[in-house]
Structure 1
């Protein structure tokens, strides 16, 4: 059964003094989106509280887990996370997470407003200051049909945020002396010689280097279309081979910038050739596992191939499950939590003791800039990764996008978080709600 619209479900929630003798006064909650926000006086124990609530639809039943709740009667332990489930008589479900004394109401309000403005199912956000996580939270629905809420453990397709991961892998191989930025990729002396066709004579494809692919200056463009999305029946190897044989360069390598997804797909093959490992295995072993990240992986194509804690993707105009994610591995294939990606950002921060790459190498890319952003977008996916003033790192993810203007949601979320960070002074010592 489908989830309720966000404005339905419960219409009132409170802790009344007459039911809770330890309360000096009634505490009325605010219901916003999928959140029940309660401010209790300092020092009030939460291990046994009785809630009063009113469902919007008469006859609805309210549960915590599988336990039926009775307004003004059922006591619960609210010292840990509590999620209410409201089930209407016709089986529709909505869920609410109870939050006490939120430290970041301005972020909560801004995220709920963005969800409503862009009709997003859900959003996840994580913020670090230096190498310390200072905020992490989920909003809205991970799955509208089951009314599962977004949590800090929700996995999202990150789309083009996969490219910074691939860049870091290339930098690591350069640092280890296994690769050079000036190495040619195709042709007689190319890294991938023997794996792909020889470039046509005088095509200049043999001049393309690792640096050109990193910088989107290979000379190829997306005219007449982006080859990574053009024919879903082809493998990555077939697409690259067709590109070499059938698409002449429009510019001399190294002279003209053109954002090019296939370039990073090719870099994934370079990583495999140099390391003798699959692209994902090398990234996991080199970067992710040492950081304690075990859930990041290349996404599946279909709903049936989704993994535990992965969100459902929504896009009315285009099927989010029509893409071959494995062939997009190095340019757009990963799934991750927002916290995972903030941990990765710390890894490429020269000020962090966890940094695994030399300052000189990082400064040869945008990783060395005090301010930089990277957006990701696919049908059903929006992702944002930003370094701000060489101090803050943040990641925001959503499980939908504006299909007519694919960067619109990312730009808005980035603007909102940037403004909130720059205007907020009282960040806590550790991450909290």
Structure 2
């Protein structure tokens, strides 16, 4: 009997490495799936040693020293296979080394996840991109919108929120990161909630007519969280986990928490640039805290900037929305085309920049976080996340891009393996011996 069990183990391993699509792993019997699940638990730093590793390590560590980044996680996908996954530097104050499966806040990379959710709901005929968002005859029918200062608010559509063309500017700061001010202006007690923001937009004029300009709006994506919940009948996080992530083997992505004391066991600690100022705690306590530890309302940011994930699971998600031929996408080609349309004030949706040469870019930056995804037209996609913010803020993404261009130009041959389909044999042996 033990011999038969080990024959089954070998068969599973051969099947795992030969499969082109992750979805095929659902053929593994449920008893064995219990031990095989969890990409973040399967991938470790020792799996990415190849002739180009030393050069990559040298360049990443030089970059970390230059910008004083405590920890970095890097995942590289080639032709939809995870060919490289490595952590560098410190994950936390205890001195633990970053591993590929560690969770990071990814700030505005969250917007890409939100856009995927919206497009899934569009494909399910639960909403349309041109549906209006606010008002008695719109998606969000809160009574607050029965009376608004600027009637143009009623014209804002789902697409316009996705494309940052809803009508709000950041001329007087970013409301999403000034929740104490929003609560005070609308007469609410801190901490502000989403209805505080409803009151805020209902009592103010838009900066421009919806759809005519584009101005980056975190607040617009905060409202999209409510759109997803209303259209799906589930909470925003539950809908995305149940319908997008978990069915595709991505089991460890979550909305994060505002406080270090409440972080997940495999979540990194967050570090800010030297000399960063303390700010008032977002809940109105009056205490002065680090922005990365109680200064920003991570849960409220949610769809705009609240997700935590590993570089490898984020890389996995991109393989399902990349319009490549290998792994079946979870969105229709028409939906991906909508998301990557770079017509001014109409797109892109979720992505930060989509270039005509086939490069798609999503960046994220907040206190304690620097993140970037880039998909190129030569089959390469890379995910770079750090648990440290720079004094350059969002402008660090340009330096990250230059670093990765240098690495990808130098490394001509990546490993042939696909770490997405890697399963440690000791876990299989443990299961088979029961």
Could you say whether these structures have the same fold, taking a TM-score greater than 0.5 normalized by the shorter chain as the test? yes
Instruction: Identify the residue that residue 335 of structure 1 maps to in structure 2.
Output: 308
Alignment of 1:326-365 (within 5 A): 326-351=299-324, 352-365=326-339
Runs of 5+ consecutive residues of structure 1 not aligned to the other structure: 1-80, 84-96
Instruction: Identify the residue that residue 387 of structure 1 maps to in structure 2.
Output: 375
- Deviation by residue 1:144-203 (Cα, 9 ceiling, x = unmatched): x21111011111000000000000000011111111011000123110013643352653
Instruction: Identify the residue that residue 247 of structure 1 maps to in structure 2.
Output: 204
- Deviation by residue 1:38-70 (Cα, 9 ceiling, x = unmatched): xxxxxxxxxxxxxxxxxxxxxxxxxxxxxxxxx
What is the distance in 1 between the residues matched to 2:378 and 2:223? 30
CA contact under 8 A between 1:203 and 1:249: conserved in structure 2? no
Runs of 5+ consecutive residues of structure 2 not aligned to the other structure: 1-42, 181-189, 278-289, 341-350, 420-434
Q: Aligned-residue CA RMSD in angstroms?
A: 2.2
1:413 aligns with 2:400: yes
Shift of residue 82 of structure 1?
11
Structure with more of its chain in strand, by fraction:
1
Alignment of 1:29-108 (within 5 A): 103-108=52-57
- Deviation by residue 1:179-230 (Cα, 9 ceiling, x = unmatched): 1011000123110013643352653000000010010000111231211111
1:268 aligns with 2:225: yes
SS in structure 2 of the partner of residue 314 of structure 1 = coil
CA contact under 8 A between 1:272 and 1:279: conserved in structure 2? yes
What is the distance in 1 between the residues matched to 2:75 and 2:158? 32
1:146 to 75, 85, 94: 94
Instruction: Identify the residue that residue 25 of structure 2 maps to in structure 1.
Output: none
CA contact under 8 A between 1:228 and 1:239: conserved in structure 2? no
Label 1:406 to 1:103 Cα distance change in 2 as closer, same or farther (>3 A).
same
SS in structure 1 of the partner of residue 202 of structure 2 = helix
1:402 to 390, 405, 416: 390
Larger radius of gyration: 1
1:229 to 173, 177, 191: 177
Label 1:418 to 1:101 Cα distance change in 2 as closer, same or farther (>3 A).
closer
SS in structure 2 of the partner of residue 363 of structure 1 = helix
Higher RCO (Cα < 8 Å, 6 or more apart): 2
Moved more, 186-195 or 340-349: 186-195
What is the distance in 1 between the residues matched to 2:250 and 2:335? 24
Instruction: Identify the residue that residue 175 of structure 1 maps to in structure 2.
Output: 123
Aligned length: 337
Shift of residue 248 of structure 1?
1.0
Label 1:113 to 1:205 Cα distance change in 2 as closer, same or farther (>3 A).
same
What is the distance in 1 between the residues matched to 2:104 and 2:148? 40
Shift of residue 306 of structure 1?
0.6
Query: Could you list the runs of 4 or more consecutive aligned residues of structure 1 that deviate by over 4 angstroms after TM superposition?
Result: 97-102
- Deviation by residue 1:282-330 (Cα, 9 ceiling, x = unmatched): 0101111012222211111111101111111011404111221110110
Label 1:431 to 1:102 Cα distance change in 2 as closer, same or farther (>3 A).
farther
Structure with more of its chain in helix, by fraction:
2
